[in-house]
């Protein structure tokens, strides 16, 4: 008759399992059975709580897109911090978040690619015209600011995307890789500055 309180609700268990499996395997690589199994629940419960695989996916996807873009947008669209502070903040916080969620970038990039409509206007509107853009434009009015922002994001995100290759090549073990990425927190602001000061 009424909602009972458990340690964690079935609905939330399903969502959590869906987050894990969808981000790891993508929409088409995920079977609803994988999610039920990951959640330790009966398969029919997925359709009982969420009407379909698509609906459940949509919920997870919106969350993940917000996670991927939200932090970087908030950090870059801050009136109160300087350009330099922004770069170090993004390098520090964003790298930490990506290390904790290594499946996130490829998931977001893949799913936007096979269905750009997923990318809500709510997010896209905030990406352009951030304070960061204005500040960059003051320092280098001669140049397309997209080059710089893409350089920054490239240097942060790409190594995370490339980790499976780096592992497979045997270049680094997982522990080493993490140290390597954390090193970049310090280095990226330095590199970014030298790029910025190159005329």
Interface contacts to DNA, rule CB under 7 A: 1-5, 10, 30-33, 41-48, 51-54
Describe the crossing of helices 10-29 and 104-114 by its angle, rounded to 10 degrees. Answer: 60
What is the nearest approach in angstroms of DNA to the Cβ of residue 94?
Answer: 32
* Cα separation, 86 vs 189, whole angstroms: 9
Cβ-proximal residues to 76 (8 Å cutoff; 6+ apart), any chain: 86, 90, 130, 131, 132, 133, 149
Q: How far is the CB of 154 from a second copy (least distance, A)?
A: 4
> Is 123 in contact with 66 (CB distance < 8 Å)?
yes
For residues 109 and 156, the answer to whether their CB atoms sit within 8 Å is: no
Q: Judged by CB under 8 A, does residue 70 bind a second copy?
A: no
113 binds a second copy (CB under 8 A): yes
**CA 107 remoteness from chain centre:** 8
Exactly one of 3, 116, 138, 142 binds a second copy (CB under 8 A); which one? 116
Instruction: Pick the closer one to DNA by CB: 49 or 180.
Output: 49
When asked if residue 180 is in the footprint of a second copy (CB under 8 A), the reply is yes
Task: Figure out which of the listed residues 37, 55, 139, 146 binds a second copy, where binding follows CB under 8 A.
Answer: 146
| Nearer Cβ to DNA (5/121) | 5
């Amino acid at each position: 008759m009424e909602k009972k309180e458990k340690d964690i609700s079935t609905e939330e268990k399903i969502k959590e399992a869906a987050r894990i499996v969808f981000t790891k395997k993508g929409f088409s690589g995920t079977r609803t059975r994988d999610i039920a199994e990951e959640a330790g629940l009966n398969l029919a419960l997925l359709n009982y709580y969420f009407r379909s695989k698509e609906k459940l996916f949509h919920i997870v996807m919106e969350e993940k897109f917000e996670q991927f873009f939200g932090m970087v947008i908030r950090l870059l669209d801050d009136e109160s911090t300087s350009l330099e502070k922004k770069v170090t903040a993004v390098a520090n916080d964003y790298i930490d978040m990506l290390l904790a969620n290594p499946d996130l970038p490829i998931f977001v990039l893949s799913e936007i690619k096979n269905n750009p409509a997923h990318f809500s206007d709510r997010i896209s509107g905030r990406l352009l015209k951030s304070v960061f853009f204005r500040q960059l434009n003051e320092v280098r009015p001669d140049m397309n600011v997209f080059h710089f922002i893409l350089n920054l994001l490239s240097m942060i995100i790409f190594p995370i995307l490339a980790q499976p290759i780096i592992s497979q090549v045997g270049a680094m073990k997982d522990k080493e890789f993490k140290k390597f990425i954390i090193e970049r927190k310090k280095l990226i602001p330095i590199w970014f500055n030298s790029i910025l000061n190159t005329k």
